[in-house]
């Protein structure tokens, strides 16, 4: 595609970005600090000016639900870093499920509950986007 575009007179720069995550699919949602300098450099080379960078959003301050084991705490950290329209569901026994990048918060909630239901029958929504919406059973 690059060769065809530039061969037809287009200006492009092919960048072989470094490996990111397991398959690279989250580079543009979670690797912003890696790719924005590449884009900024390209834009400057094309005389398209500079842009003022917006401050990165502060990390969410939600605490993970109680009774999550290490894998669940890691998944909750991923949830916090994920893009909007997300929900995290949890069971008092430590089962969990989350979904992000859905069409709506309601769709994320349904998908998170369905994911959690694969591991437990008593799942409840714990968080939607950056808000705590439920109290995890068994919290002290």
Q: Is the separation of the CB atoms in 112 and 105 below 8 Å?
A: no
Nearest to 112 by CA among 123, 68, 131, 133: 123
The helix/strand count (H/E) of the chain reads as: 5, 4
**Would you list the domain boundaries of the chain?**
2-45, 70-132
Which pLDDT value is given to residue 111?
96
Give tens-digit pLDDT for 69-104.
999 999 999 999 888 899 999 999 999 999 998 989
Q: Is the separation of the CB atoms in 68 and 96 below 8 Å?
A: yes
Q: Is the separation of the CB atoms in 113 and 86 below 8 Å?
A: no
pTM for the model: 0.58
The H or E element containing residue 88 is strand 87-90
């Amino acid at each position: 595609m690059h060769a065809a575009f530039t061969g037809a007179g287009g200006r492009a720069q092919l960048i072989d970005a470094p490996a990111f995550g397991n398959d690279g699919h989250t580079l543009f949602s979670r690797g912003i600090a890696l790719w924005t300098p590449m884009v900024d450099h390209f834009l400057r080379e094309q005389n398209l000016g500079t842009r003022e960078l917006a401050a990165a959003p502060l990390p969410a301050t939600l605490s993970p639900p109680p009774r999550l084991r290490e894998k669940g705490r890691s998944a909750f950290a991923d949830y916090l870093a994920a893009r909007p329209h997300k929900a995290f569901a949890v069971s008092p026994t430590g089962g969990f499920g989350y979904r992000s990048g859905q069409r709506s918060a309601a769709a994320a909630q349904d998908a998170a509950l369905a994911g959690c239901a694969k591991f437990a029958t008593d799942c409840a929504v714990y968080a939607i986007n950056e808000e705590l919406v439920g109290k995890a059973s068994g919290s002290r």
